[in-house]
Amino acid sequence: MASSYFIPLLLSLSLPILTFFPSTTLSKLTPNYYQKSCPKFPDIVRQIVQEKQSVVPTTAAATLRLLFHDCLVEGCDASILIASNAFNKAERDAENNLSLSGDGFDVVTRIKTALELQCPGIVSCSDILATAARDLITIEGGPYYPVRLGRKDGLVSKAELVEGKLPRPKMPLTQLIALFASKKFTVQEMVALVGAHTIGFAHCSEFSNRIYNFSKKTKVDPAYNPKYAEGLRKLCSNYTKDPSMSAFNDVMTPNKFDNMYYKNLQRGLALLASDQALAVDKRTRPHVDLYATNQTKFFQDFAHAMEKLSVYKIKTGRKGEVRRRCDAFNNLKTA
């Protein structure tokens, strides 16, 4: 396995009940959906994510990112988990998803395996992913928020559907705002959701231009704190030979879900260009400044936005299925 190198990141949350989704869709979802059909569901999820996180501390960030990449493409339907086959190149093999950590996939697989032994054919992979992400956030110190259950797993997973639907590290802020707006998220909700970077990491290739080749006048982006930039240059010095080399987005508290990410943005410690833009643009800076000084408000807004995200374009009824295994549709698709 290729070696990885990190500099720190993390975040937290807590939340109210949603009122902004069509009742016809959300009425089919409830936090107690499995109370009778699989009563041990929450306990099994909690136990497995705790075990996995204690062994692999990057599991929380990996799982949260996996949820984002799933929901923002075709909705929260576990289509990101489908493996490609001879007949179909699935979402997970799209270029934008190749950097997704295997630990997120692994923890979902472990949970699904345990649940199939306990209550076969009952719990969807999309419900597992949404719940695991929430539980891992709370384990890392973040806020708890209710996850409505009863999603079905999607019946489509195609790599070509990914392009243009996910944020990119070098994406201009206006484009980033437009992307989230197309999914009915406000600027404030976008800034809160990006706070997830407090427990994430980025590969050196995603910010190398800021530390080695920023412009004709300077190799290093002057927005960086000089000592931070120097540390990044040393950390990533061999990244072209080792693509796995990475840095945590939050250099101060890498293993704590808190509001330090926003404080870092104010101090020249924004790892990605898209993060740096949040700190200076008049559309986003007020939210950054608020969250940097008020962690409670950040937790509330993050949790609210996460609850909204977790039910984005969900599938219910005959529009989906409960997969027997998360990486394959129940029926092989040959077209």
Catalytic residue numbers, as ranges = 69
Q: Which two tokens stand for residue 77?
A: 């339907």
Cα first-last separation, the chain = 34
Distance CA(269)–CA(196), nearest Å, equals: 16
Bridge partner residues of 203 (DSSP):
246
Measured in degrees and rounded to the nearest 5, phi and psi for residue 202 equal: -130, 145
Distance CA(61)–CA(9), nearest Å, equals: 9
- Residue reference for tokens 């374009």: 313
Q: Is 247 helix (H, G, I), strand (E, B) or coil?
A: strand
Output the CA–CA distances (angstroms, integers) from residue 112 to 18, 57, 140, 312, in the order listed.
27, 21, 22, 22
Distance CA(65)–CA(51), nearest Å, equals: 19
Distance CA(88)–CA(99), nearest Å, equals: 20
Measured in degrees and rounded to the nearest 5, phi and psi for residue 252 equal: -95, -45
Q: Which two tokens stand for residue 172?
A: 């201009």
Distance CA(109)–CA(22), nearest Å, equals: 31
Q: Which two tokens stand for residue 324?
A: 């027997």
Spatial neighbors of 287 by CB under 8 A, at least 6 apart, are 187, 188, 191, 192, 278
Do residues 150 and 127 touch, judged by C-beta distance below 8 A? Answer: yes
Do residues 44 and 131 touch, judged by C-beta distance below 8 A? Answer: no
Do the bridges between strand 201-203 and strand 246-248 make them parallel or antiparallel, or are there none, so unpaired? antiparallel
